[in-house]
Structure 1
Amino acid sequence: MKATWLLGMAMMSTGAHAATREETIDAWMRDYTGQVPGASVLVLEGGDAVFQRSYGLADLEAGVASSPTTNYRLASVSKQFTAASVLLLVEDGVLTLDDPVRRWLPTLPVATETITLRHLLSHTSGLIDYEDLLPPDQAHQIHDADVLRLLEREDRLYFPAGSDYRYSNSGYALLALVVERASGQRFAAFLQARIFSPLGMRATLAREDEGPPVTDRAFGYTLVGDRWERTDQSTTSAVLGDGGIYSSITDLAKWDAVWYDDRLLSAPSRALAVQASTATPEPDVAHYGFGWRLQGRMQWHSGESIGFRNVLLRFPAQRLTVIVLSNRDAPEPYRLARQIAALWNGTP
C-alpha cells in the first residue's frame, strides 16, 4: 500500500512539474500568441517530444495558424545540411575536405588558391562577403551561381586562408556549388535524395522558384510602426547553400535523431562536424565546427533572414534539444531557447 501511495505521489509530482513547464513556456511565448506572426517550439528529451506547441499565425493575410508542421525558412540553420552534404560526398570518396576549392570551382581568382573545403566549412577561408558586393540598386534575387560570379571578380581575401575566423555566407554558397559539381545533381535535388527523403523529412526542401512549392508555408513579417508587414523575401533569399531550406519542428525532430546513430553519417563524420577546432570571437560560440556552433556542452545554430528568426540548441550528453522557429524579424529567440532548455537541464 505504501509503495502504491509513493508511486502515485511521484506521478502527481511529475505531472505538476510538466504542467508548470508548459505554463511557463506559454507565458514566455505570449507575444507570439494571437493575430500576429507566430512561432513553433519543440523540446526533445531522450528522443521524445516532451513539449511541442505552436503560436500565432503562419500567414497573416489568410489567417492560417502556425502548427507543428508549419515550414519556416531556416536561414543559417540550413548550413548544417550543406555541411552534411559535403561529409556524405567525403564518405562516398568523391571529394576530400582538403580539396582546394578551385578543383571544383576553377573560375575563382588566384587569391583563393589556398582555400580548401575545410576552410569553407569552418569559416576560415577569408572570402569576401557576397552581400557586400551587391550593387545598392540590386532588384532581382541572386542564386548560388551568382555568388560565384561575384567572387570571380574579387582577387583578394580578408585574410590568408586558415589564419583567422570570419563567419562567411559566401563560403556556404560555394559549398552548395561544390556539392552540385561533385554529385552531378542540383543542390536541392541532392538534399532531397540523400537527406530529406531517407530521413522521412517529407515536407522539408531547399526552395527554388521552379521547384515544388513549400507546403504549410510560413511567411515572414516585420513590425513597421504598429502593424506587421510581409517581408518574406530579399535579394539574397534564393541563395540555397547558406540559408535556403524550409522545414518544420516535426521534420527537425528527425534531423536531431540522426546525430545519435549511423543512419545518415558515420560516427567519425559526425564527430568531425562538431569538432571544436576553430576558435571564434563570437558570443556564446567558443568554437565553430562544420555547420555547428559549439559552446561548452551545447551544439547550436541560429538562423536570421528577412522575416525569420530561428534557433536550434542541442545538449547531446543529456539527449536534450530545443528548437524555436519564428516568422518575424524580432526578437532573436536564442536567449528564449536557453531559458526553455534550463527548465530541463538547469543550465541558463
Structure 2
Amino acid sequence: MNTLKFFCFFILIFIGSCGSNGTDDESSVPEISSTLTETLDNYIDTSIPSSGAGIAIFVNKNETVKYTGFKGLANIQESISIDADTGFRIASISKVFTALATMKLFEQELIQLNDSILKYLPELPSSWQHITIHHLLSHQSGIPQYENHPDATIWDGQTNDDVLRFYISHSELSFEAGSKGEYSNAGYHLLAEIIFRAVGIHYENYMHEYFFEPLGMNNSYVADETTSPRVNDALNFAQYTTFNGKNNFTNGANGIVSSINDLNIFISALLDGQIVKLETLNLMLVHHTPALLGEADYGYGWILAPEGSDAFSHTGGHDGFRTWLLINRDKNLRMIILGNGGDLTGDHEQLAKLMGPFL
C-alpha cells in the first residue's frame, strides 16, 4: 500500500509537470537532453544493466510514438532480452481490466452497481448484505485486507477460493460500507468471483474471450495455478520484493500478464469505445472516492488526477514487477512502463521528471 501511494504521488507530479520544467527542485532532476529520446535513452543506458532485470517504456502523444525503449533481460538464465512483446505481470493494473469487465456486465444489464454482493456470493457473512458492487469498485466496502489479519499471513499458492473461504469465517469490517474509502485488493478478488457467478465463465476465461482474443492481445493472459510463464515472459529478478517469493495465484486485483504492444492496443480500443461505451468509461472516471491514495482520487478501477484534468492511470507493484499505465485525454497522451527488477527498475519519480519537459 505504501508503494502504491508513493507511485500515485509521482503520477500527480508527472501530470502537473507536463510541458513545464518538470520540478521546482532542479538539483533533483536527472540529466535532461535536447530530445525525449536522448533523455530516456541516456537514463536507461546508465541506470539499467544489460545483463540484469530491465524495463520497457512506451510514450505516445497526438497519435505519434514519441518513445519506445527497452533495456535488460526478461529471462537472465536464457539471456532473453526485453522487447515490445515481452509479457510482464502488470500487478494492480489488472484492476482496470476487472473494473471494465464488471462495467461490460453492467451495460448488458447482467448486474447492477447497487446490487448487494450477497446476490452473487451468498456464502459471505449475512451482515455484508449492504455491501454493493459499487463499493467494491470504488474501494468503499470496508472489507479489511486479509493479508494484515493475524489468522491469514500470506501463504504460498493462495487463490481466490482461499480468499473467499477466509472471509466466510471472518465477518468483521474496518468501517461501514460507503462511509469512507480504503484501498482493498480483496474487493477486486471478489469482483472476479462475481463475474464468474454472473456469467458462468471463470475470470481467466472471460478475460481471454472478451478482451485478449478479440482485441488481438496475443501476449496477454491471466496467470494462475494452471499456467506457466511463456517463453517471452519477463521473470521476476527483483532485489527487493513484496511477497517474499511466495506463489500468489489470486486474480481480479492482480494476475494479468501483458506487454507494451498489447497494452497500447488496449488503450486504443478503450478510447475508441470498443471495450465499453464512452459514457460508461466516463462513469468509471467519476471521482467516486476522493483522496483514496494520498492526494489521488479513485473512480472505478482508475486512479484519477485532480478535478479539472482528464488524466487517469493505474500503477502496480507485485513482487518484483513495477508497472504504470497512464492516459491523458487532455493532452492526447498515453504512457506505459513495465519493469521486472523491483525497486531497481521502478523509479517512476525519475522517469516523471525526465518526461515532463517534453510532454
Do the two structures share a fold, i.e. TM-score over 0.5?
A: yes
| TM-score for both structures, normalised by structure 1 | 0.87
1:1-348 alignment, distance < 5 Å: 20-29=35-44, 30-133=46-149, 139-211=155-227, 213-223=229-239, 233-235=245-247, 237-285=248-296, 287-296=297-306, 297=309, 298-331=311-344, 332-345=346-359
Corresponding residue for residue 15 of structure 2: none
**Deviation of the 1:220 alpha carbon:** 0.8
**Deviation of the 1:213 alpha carbon:** 4.8
CA contact (8 A) 1:311 1:337 kept: no
**Deviation of the 1:133 alpha carbon:** 3.6
Aligned partners of 2:115, 2:203: CA distance in 1, in Å?
19
**Deviation of the 1:275 alpha carbon:** 1.2
1:96-153 CA deviation, whole Å, 9 max, x = no partner?
1111001000111133111100000000001011212475776531111111111111
1:261-286 CA deviation, whole Å, 9 max, x = no partner?
2211101211011111211252341x
**Structure with greater Cα Rg:** 1
CA contact (8 A) 2:155 2:246 kept: no
Q: Which shows bigger deviation, 329-338 or 251-260? A: 329-338
Change beyond 3 A, Cα 1:63–1:232: farther
Q: Which shows bigger deviation, 119-128 or 272-281? A: 272-281
Q: Which shows bigger deviation, 73-82 or 262-271? A: 262-271
Q: Which shows bigger deviation, 111-120 or 173-182? A: 111-120
Equivalent position amino acid for 1:26 in 2: D
Aligned residues: 323
- Percent of aligned pairs with the same amino acid: 28
CA contact (8 A) 1:71 1:215 kept: no
| TM-score for both structures, normalised by structure 2 | 0.84
Runs of 4+ in 1 over 4 A off after TM superposition: 134-139
CA contact (8 A) 2:147 2:154 kept: no
Change beyond 3 A, Cα 1:38–1:212: closer
Q: What is the root-mean-square deviation in Å for CA atoms of aligned residues?
A: 2.3
Aligned partners of 1:86, 1:56: CA distance in 2, in Å?
36
Corresponding residue for residue 10 of structure 2: none
Change beyond 3 A, Cα 1:42–1:145: same
Aligned partners of 1:192, 1:67: CA distance in 2, in Å?
22
Aligned partners of 2:152, 2:303: CA distance in 1, in Å?
31
CA contact (8 A) 1:104 1:178 kept: yes
Aligned partners of 1:80, 1:280: CA distance in 2, in Å?
18
Change beyond 3 A, Cα 1:138–1:333: closer
Aligned partners of 1:305, 1:249: CA distance in 2, in Å?
17
**Deviation of the 1:259 alpha carbon:** 2.8
CA contact (8 A) 2:143 2:187 kept: yes
Change beyond 3 A, Cα 1:232–1:72: farther
Give the 3-state SS of the residue equivalent to 1:140 in structure 2. Answer: coil
**Deviation of the 1:239 alpha carbon:** 0.6
Specify which structure has the bigger relative contact order, considering alpha-carbon pairs within 8 angstroms and separated by 6 or more residues. Answer: 2
CA contact (8 A) 2:59 2:336 kept: yes
Change beyond 3 A, Cα 1:110–1:67: same
Is there any run of 5+ residues in structure 1 with no aligned partner, and where? 1-16
Give the 3-state SS of the residue equivalent to 1:280 in structure 2. Answer: strand
CA contact (8 A) 1:111 1:157 kept: no
Aligned partners of 1:113, 1:137: CA distance in 2, in Å?
27
Is there any run of 5+ residues in structure 2 with no aligned partner, and where? 1-31
Give the 3-state SS of the residue equivalent to 1:151 in structure 2. Answer: helix
Change beyond 3 A, Cα 1:44–1:274: same
CA contact (8 A) 1:41 1:53 kept: yes
